[in-house]
Each structure stands twice: as structure tokens, then as C-alpha cells.
Amino acid sequence: MIGAGAVGLTLAARLARAGMPVRLVTRDIGSARSLESGGIRVEDPKTGEQWCAPVGAVAGLENADLEGADRPLLICVRSTDTEALAFQLSELAPNAAVVSVQNGVDNDDLLARYFPRVIGAVWRQTCTRVEPDLVRFTGQGRVVVGLHPQGFAPEVEVLAQDLRRADYDVGISSRIAEDRWLKLCVNLMSAPNALIRREDHDRPPFVEVKARLLEEARAVLAATGIEARSCDGRDRSLDQEIRHQRESLERGTSARRIPLYNQVWSSLRSDAPLEADGYHQRILELAAAHGIGVPINARVLEKLIEAKTGHRGPECFSAAELLAPS
């Protein structure tokens, strides 16, 4: 597994706990030594459960023994790092099958320029990297896997079996791009979840921001003919997600009560680059090409960049500020 961020640590810990040998490739030697000696520490803030999973770890691809790898290599790095990683990895293991456990809709295509077999994995579990060897998550989690660009392959079924052994809810998609586009739309809500002050999460404007982001994305995808749907119907459609968000105040689920934070929140607290800006930018580009207005996506992107470049940290705007026109 390449990448020891929140997703990499979570997935590695779950696989290792299920009895599978896992080796992580990290950025720095300090993290590798900590993981190699003490494993991955896990906290479940909902149940209070704590446990540790033993893993192997090395720092840098150049120190990983990738020659003749007979299992897919799982890539869990940020999308901004994919191009450089793909180039370096292809020099070391040009015939490897790779699995993109990443957000966004472009990584599978990018990796396919360098590798003969690419599997997409759509990740659906919020997790937080608290320390280099400590990750926090709760619940079973869901992963959708599929051969890129479409179809089926034995490697996909083997990967799905491994993930099920680790107790994930696994879907197998014959058109993984459709699942990726659905997840990109869902990820549009990551920015307001991280940007808006906690006290606003129980108020109508917070829900309105998220629902309107999705409504704008739905209109854009309809105009462009892009399909965004779940392979097996187990993930909410865009229509269902919009209803789910609009009903969340009445259900009392609009605010997350446990200390779990998404990648945007973590990025705003650190020097790590954003990814969510790319989700909104993609919607804006498609909208511009078809003459569609997407003011809330534009506003959220503007405020996201303002918070990042101004080092304002997470939860720095009211919901009303994200609804106001630019």
C-alpha cells in the first residue's frame, strides 16, 4: 500500500486485523519506523474501542521491493501526487496492477497511461489521521471496486474478497466511472462540512448550502450526459442524497457529533494541499461549457480558497456567508 494518510492507515489497519500481511510505503522514515515497530493504532470515537494492527512499513518507493509484485498495489495518496507517483512507480514495477483508492474522477485515467491494469476503488468512510501511526474511524465502511474503464477481471474479485474479509461492505462495478462521479458529487459537501462553524450545522442555511451544491451538480451532469450512479443501488442516488440532506434537520442528523473530520478539515488545519477545490472546479468547468449557472459551487470554491490561502483554519464561516452571492 502506497500512502499512509487517513485512508491508507484505515485500510491497512482493517486488512491487517483480518490477518492479511500489509506493507505500507510512507513519505518519511520516521513514520515508517513508528509503524514498523508499533503498528497502526485505531480509535473508534463512537464505541470507544481502541486496537492496534501490526504492519510492515518502508520510507519511499525506492526502498520497497516491488519487483515481480503478484498482487495489485493499492495507491492511497492525494490526487495532486498521482502523476509523479505513477511515473516513479512505473519505473520500478511497470507491469503491476494498481488500485486507485483515491477521490476524484481523473486518477484512473492518469494511472492507465503508465500501467496495463488499473482498478478503481471508491472509498466511502470518513476517517481522520490523528498522528502518523494513529487513525480514527467508526462503522463498517463501504468500498466499490471495478476495472477501469469498464468490465470485469479476476483481480477485482480477489480484491473484493480481501475487502470483505476486512468486514467492508463491498460493491463490484462494471462501470466504475459512474460510481466515481456519484462520489465526486457527494464530496462537494465536504467543503461546507469543514468550512461552516459547528453551531450552524443544526440550522437551515447549512443544509441549504449542501442541497444546492448537489442540485447544481445534478443539472450539470444532466446537461453533459455524464452518468453518476451506484453500481448496486446501495449508495444513495443524487435525488435521494438531496432529499436526505433536506430532511436531516428534522431527523437531527445534520451535525456530526463525534470527533471525525474529513480531508478538507484536516487540510485547513495543516500545510497539506486541498483536493476538494478540484471537485468544485470540475463542476464549474462543465457548467461553463454548457452555459449553466452554478453560483453555490462558485461561492463555496471561493471561500475554500480564501480559508486556505488566508490560513484561517476550519469552521471559519457562517452558513449564510456561503449562500451569499459573490
Each residue's pLDDT tens digit, 17-66: 999 999 999 999 999 999 999 999 999 999 999 999 999 999 999 999 88
Per-residue confidence at 193, pLDDT binned at 50, 70, 90? very high
Reduced 3-state DSSP string for the chain: CECCCHHHHHHHHHHHHCCCCCEEEECCHHHHHHHHHHCEEEECCCCCCEEEECCEEEECHHHCCCCCCCCCEEECCCHHHHHHHHHHHHHHCCCCEEEECCCCCCHHHHHHCCCCEEEEEEEECCEEEEECCEEEECCCCEEEEEECCCCCCHHHHHHHHHHHHCCCEEEECCCHHHHHHHHHHHHCCHHHHHHECHHHCCCHHHHHHHHHHHHHHHHHHHHHCCCCCCCCCCCCCHHHHHHHHHCHHHHCCCCCCCCCCCHHHHHHCCCCCCCHHHHHHHHHHHHHHCCCCCHHHHHHHHHHHHHHHCCCCCCCECHHHHHCCC
- Report the pLDDT value the prediction gives residue 149, as an integer from 0 to 100: 96
- Report the pLDDT value the prediction gives residue 68, as an integer from 0 to 100: 59
- Report the pLDDT value the prediction gives residue 264, as an integer from 0 to 100: 96
Structural contact between residues 142 and 114, judged by C-beta atoms closer than 8 angstroms: no
Q: Cell 470554491 identifies what position?
A: 301
Per-residue confidence at 143, pLDDT binned at 50, 70, 90? very high
Per-residue confidence at 326, pLDDT binned at 50, 70, 90? low
- Rounded mean pLDDT of the chain? 95
Question: Helix 204-224 and helix 295-309: axis angle, to 10°?
Answer: 120
- Report the pLDDT value the prediction gives residue 256, as an integer from 0 to 100: 87
- Report the pLDDT value the prediction gives residue 237, as an integer from 0 to 100: 98
Tell me, what amino acid is at 95?
N
- Report the pLDDT value the prediction gives residue 292, as an integer from 0 to 100: 97
Residue 148: pLDDT above 60?
yes
- Report the pLDDT value the prediction gives residue 306, as an integer from 0 to 100: 97
Q: Give the mean pLDDT of 5-25.
A: 97
pTM above 0.85, yes or no: yes
pLDDT in tens, 266-281: 999 998 899 999 999 9
Pairing relationship of beta strands 50-53 and 73-75 according to DSSP bridges: unpaired
- Report the pLDDT value the prediction gives residue 24, as an integer from 0 to 100: 96
Kindly give, in sequence order, each residue whose CB lies less than 8 Å from that of residue 144, ignoring residues fewer than 6 positions away. 121, 122, 124, 170, 171, 172, 173, 176, 179, 230, 231, 235
pLDDT in tens, 252-267: 999 988 989 999 999 9
Question: How far is Cα 210 from Cα 324, in angstroms, rounded to an integer?
Answer: 14
- Report the pLDDT value the prediction gives residue 51, as an integer from 0 to 100: 98
- Report the pLDDT value the prediction gives residue 194, as an integer from 0 to 100: 97
- Report the pLDDT value the prediction gives residue 55, as an integer from 0 to 100: 97
- Report the pLDDT value the prediction gives residue 257, as an integer from 0 to 100: 86
Structural contact between residues 63 and 37, judged by C-beta atoms closer than 8 angstroms: no
- Report the pLDDT value the prediction gives residue 147, as an integer from 0 to 100: 98
Pairing relationship of beta strands 117-124 and 142-147 according to DSSP bridges: antiparallel
Residue 188: pLDDT above 90?
yes
In degrees rounded to 5, what are phi and psi of residue 227? -90, 130
Tell me, what amino acid is at 227?
E
Give the angle 63-33-95 at the CA atoms, nearest 5°: 30
In degrees rounded to 5, what are phi and psi of residue 58? -135, 155
- Report the pLDDT value the prediction gives residue 69, as an integer from 0 to 100: 65
Could you give the percent of the chain with pLDDT greater than 70?
A: 98
